Amino acid sequence: MKYFSFSMAILLFVSLAHGMEEDSSANNRILKGHEDFVSSVRYNPHKEGELASGSDEAVRIWDLQTGKEKKVLKGHQDFVKICYNPHKEGELASGSYNRNVQIWDLQTAKVVKILDGCKPFEFICSFCYDPHNEDVLAFGTDKNSVQICDLRMDKLAKILDGCKPFEFICSLCYNPHKEDELATGSSDRNVRIWDLRMAQVVKTLDGIGPTRIDRTTGREYALLQGGIYQGHQDLVSSVCYNPHKEGELASGGDKTVRIWDSQTGKEKKVLKGHQDLVNSVCYNPHKEGELASGCYNTVRIWDLQTNAARKVLLPRRGKVTSFCYDPHHKDEVALGESDGMVRRWNLSGSGSGYLMWSDAMGKNEDTEENEHRKAVKYLEKERKEETKKALALSLEGMNLS
């Protein structure tokens, strides 16, 4: 009888666990289809209930009411970045490492233009539409240049060269408040502000001042007075202008988010808390004073008045590779993750503190204190694993392992 009871308990536990793990797809919060990590995710700004994601040589268009794929756009040979045209409904651009940007008509699911403006052996690392001109698109490459395309003429209008040789443009963003201004983040740890009329850099946000050489990495860092580092200490993977406040720009890199005054070039504040490279930053389009930043294992929702994270999102399975706010719903964000899934989170009604994936699904009834304890345990495990990996690599380099 004891054996029977124990067996039944095991079966019941497995059934419940399986139900909690996969039943979430029934409420359309998990979008399944990609076979590799999701490199880009974007909501359709014109059409509520539609989202696009890019990954394994394809762009997938999702119906968020059903959680089903509407279309699959194929034409690239590598991981894909995507961007909806903010001016034209039904148009989407996709770029990849195969050195071109493709413009899609979403009604026909066909490519209407291919922009092959890159120089030989250059990859498309980032791109976006000009919010002030519906026929202009900018993209950054792996050979230190920004290229501006005129979509009416199907040709390059300008090439901006200003980075150090052999560096690449990780991210770029047009200033929504000022025409002919563009910000870029690059692998040389700098944020640059460009005047597009003059086709030149007008400001470099790099923490100019005294420098020192790090003995471990051999890299040169800028310093403030008192020996405090200023500016990013690793590549700048993401830049974003504040849509609510003119003259403010956020950048993500190393393990920090930095807020800049783009007019003076001064660093206003540094947001710390991530344990890995920050791969994306995004201001909340609905709420002034809120910014989200993602790294490999967390997304942090920042209150810019207190400079503290009011929420920390902890995915249970995949690692965060991309995310964005829903422009139609103030409490919705979508996370693209390393397991090929896109997960939609609801941030409302969760208070402050740590938010596990099951919380976003509305299934976890644990108290905030219990969630905090689980979150701390989760992060400690991640840090221990990373420390072990770093130590193993160090010993291998010293030929001691």
Q: What's the pLDDT at 119?
A: 53
Under 8 Å between Cβ of 108 and 131:
no
- The full set of domain ranges for the chain reads 27-365, 368-401
Provide the 3-class DSSP secondary structure of residue 121.
coil
209, exposed or middle or buried, with CB in 10 Å at 0-12, 13-18, 19+?
A: exposed
- The strand pairing partners of 50, in sequence order, are 63
- CA 193/CA 180 separation, integer angstroms: 10
Q: What's the pLDDT at 160?
A: 79
Nearest CA-CA partner of 310 in 326, 293, 324: 293
Contacts of 288 (CB under 8 A, 6+ apart): 244, 245
- CA 298/CA 318 separation, integer angstroms: 10
Nearest CA-CA partner of 185 in 225, 216, 146, 130: 146
Q: What's the pLDDT at 142?
A: 73
Whole-structure pTM value: 0.77
Strands 308-314 and 353-356: parallel
Task: Please give the C-alpha separations between residue 93 and each of 137, 176, 196, 227, in angstroms, as whole numbers.
Answer: 9, 19, 21, 44
Low-confidence ranges of the chain (pLDDT < 70): 1-27, 98, 117-122, 162-166, 206-230, 316-318, 349-401
Q: What's the pLDDT at 398?
A: 46
Under 8 Å between Cβ of 51 and 66:
no
| pLDDT tens sequence across 361-389 | 544 333 344 544 555 555 556 555 655 55
The backbone torsions φ and ψ at residue 17, rounded to the nearest 5 degrees and listed phi first, read -65, -45
User: What single letter denotes the amino acid at residue 170?
Assistant: C
- The strand pairing partners of 139, in sequence order, are 127, 147
- CA 261/CA 245 separation, integer angstroms: 10
Per CATH, the number for 27-365 is: 2.130.10.10
- CA 216/CA 202 separation, integer angstroms: 33
211, exposed or middle or buried, with CB in 10 Å at 0-12, 13-18, 19+?
A: exposed
Under 8 Å between Cβ of 126 and 118:
no
- CA 280/CA 257 separation, integer angstroms: 9
Under 8 Å between Cβ of 140 and 127:
yes
Q: Which uninterrupted H or E stretch holds 357? A: helix 357-360
